[in-house]
Amino acid sequence: MMARPMRADARRNYERILSTAREAFAERGPEAPLDDIARKACVGAGTLYRHFPNREALIEAVYRDDIERLSSWAHELLEQHEPAKALELWMREQVAFVLHKRGVAASLKAAMDRDSETFALGKTMMNEAAAELLTRAQEAGAVRPDLKPRDLLLLGHGVGVAAEGSDETAERLITVVLDGLRPPA
């Protein structure tokens, strides 16, 4: 039996809880009080628990939503830009994600079971997004043929971590990385 789609008000509540939880986790870590999240989201505790039966479910939903957004953006970029530009924009967004959400993402990942379906799905989605961007850019001759999708993920993550919260450093480093992705002349 298929699950019924959420009513519009239930969908709004779900999104508000997710957004509020994302902010709370950024400020206070994955142990942020769920009652505070419900109150700030302007919903009752029962509504929060109806959508997310426990803390782990909420943590996984926030993590999954962030990863879904970042990976789906790769497909949107490929529809709107030529492959090299799409790859560049996505790499910059990946670095920004790591740079500004590193603590949140790390604490959410630490709070999740590494064998969880959500963690595996996130890894798959990011690898598929990187693969599609890379394949299209390689087919266009815009990037080195010896690169692998995982390389893009490692490079983006590495730049975000190395920049230590500095947008200026991140910009300089990602520019060097992007230059290094181009095929040799």
- What's the rounded Cα separation, in Å, for the pair 5 and 84? 38
Shared domain check, 40 and 70: no
CA 125 to chain centre: 10
Q: Tens of pLDDT along 151-184?
A: 999 999 999 989 988 899 999 999 999 999 999 8
Whether residue 81 sits in one domain with residue 46 = no
User: Of 17, 35, 53, which residue sits at a domain end?
Assistant: 53
- Per-residue pLDDT reduced to its tens digit, 57-70: 898 898 889 889 99
**CA 87/CA 183 separation, integer angstroms:** 14
Residue 126 in tokens: 């990011």
Mark whether 150 and 71 lie in a shared domain. Answer: yes
Give CA–CA dist 93/1, Å, rounded: 38
168 lies in the same domain as 83: yes
Domain that holds residue 7: 1-53
Q: How far apart are CA 19 and CA 33, in angstroms?
A: 15
- Alpha carbons 163 and 31: distance in angstroms, whole number: 27
The number of distinct structural domains making up the chain is: 2
